[in-house]
Amino acid sequence: MGTYRDACMSGNFVVSGEIGPPKGTNVARMLDDIDLLKDKCDGLNVTDNQSAVMRLGSLAVSGEIVRRGGDPIFQTTCRDRNRLGLQSDLLSAAFMGITNVLCLTGDHPVVGDHKQAKGVFDFDSVHLIQCCKKMNAGTDWAGNTLDGATDFFVGAVVTPEADPLEPQMYKFARKVDAGADFFQTQAVYDMDNFQRFMEQARETIAGTNVKMMAGLVVLTGLGMAKYMNRAVPGIFVPDALLEELGSVAKEDQLKKGMEIAARHIAFLRDNKVCDGVHVMAIGKEEIIPEILARAGVVR
């Protein structure tokens, strides 16, 4: 198995998966998920206190993926640490053999399970990208020389269905300027909209070697799809997909959702819409291999 960076540079269609660390010390299921996915995906994201809910840390789990022979994409947010903490964790990541970093702002504490926490946001995601690049060049943020530089492959996120889209595209441009190597998008479901987004994105990244990965969250049922539409900012599930999910009995909707995800992966790959996909099956990681097999993604 090569590394995620190699896969991105190869020109082949890239697939990453995602591991959500548990809230607690029972890690058996998560380790099973890692072992199941590490060779079927080019890289595995590890979420960082996702949705501002306190969990086992992304740094430790990313390190475990390295030990198990996979290639983690270490998600790190600006919510919980100031610039000292972030850089120290980045050095720790390098020490643990982690090379891919996904730089995120982080959800506000108020949407999570520690609503009284102080959100830090000393850096924003753009600064975090710049910081990784500085550390790659051998200095910390303040300009002090590092005794040994990092070698991070630096990722960021963008929301193709953001409303309004224009401010989001300007932020995307700032992240490109800051030196992001790859992007994972917020979950997309409308392939026409996504193709239009990619046309705009291609203009912004023209002249760079930036790789674009479409985010796909598997729809596990009609209720979940409607919830995503209603409650998750930047997500749009088109009516046609809602109807498609609703056309089968409730117990068959997960299968239908998997079929839709496989179809979207194949569509994006066969039409060269983007450079790869980031597939998420929040809490149902065991279904990912079947989706990838259906899409004809073989590792």
Partner 1 sequence: MIISKQKPFEEVLEDLEGLTNIIILGCGECATATRTGGPEEVADMKAKLEEHGKKVLFTEIVHTGCHELDVKRILRQAKDACGEADGFLVLSCGAGTQACRTATDKRVIPGCDPLFLGNIQRSMDFAEKCSHCGACVIDDYGAICPITRCAKGLVNGPCGGTSHGKCEVDPEMDCAWTLIHNQLKKEGRDDKRRMVHEPKDWNVIRHPGAVVDRGSDKQKMGSEV
Rule CB under 8 A: is residue 164 a binding residue for partner 1?
yes
Member of 4, 13, 74, 123 binding partner 1 (CB under 8 A): 123
Q: Which stretch binds partner 1 (CB under 8 A): 9-17, 20-28, 164-172, 289-297?
A: 164-172
DSSP SS3 for 225: helix
CA–CA distance, 58 with 50 (Å, rounded to integer): 10
Residues 170-189 contacting partner 1, CB under 8 A: 170-171, 173-174, 177-178, 186
CB 278 → partner 1: shortest distance, Å? Answer: 14
Rule CB under 8 A: is residue 150 a binding residue for partner 1?
no
Rule CB under 8 A: is residue 85 a binding residue for partner 1?
no
Cβ atoms 58, 22 nearer than 8 A: no
According to DSSP, the β-strands at 100-104 and 43-46 are: unpaired
Residue with Cβ nearer partner 1 (54 or 84)? 84
Cβ atoms 44, 37 nearer than 8 A: yes
Residues with Cβ < 8 Å from 132, sequence gap 6 or more?
90, 101, 103, 150, 152, 154, 179
Rule CB under 8 A: is residue 217 a binding residue for partner 1?
no
Number of residues that bind partner 1 (CB under 8 A): 33
CA–CA distance, 196 with 185 (Å, rounded to integer): 14
Q: How far is CA 175 from the centre of its chain?
A: 15
DSSP SS3 for 184: strand
Cβ atoms 257, 220 nearer than 8 A: yes
Residue with Cβ nearer partner 1 (39 or 177)? 177
Q: Which stretch binds partner 1 (CB under 8 A): 68-76, 90-98, 121-129, 221-229?
A: 121-129
Rule CB under 8 A: is residue 234 a binding residue for partner 1?
yes
Rule CB under 8 A: is residue 108 a binding residue for partner 1?
yes
Here's the x/- map for partner 1, 238-267, by CB under 8 A: it reads as ------------------------------
CA–CA distance, 155 with 73 (Å, rounded to integer): 9
Residues forming contacts to partner 1 in the complex (CB under 8 A) are 79, 83, 105, 107-108, 110-111, 119, 121-127, 130, 157, 159, 162-164, 166-168, 170-171, 173-174, 177-178, 186, 233-234
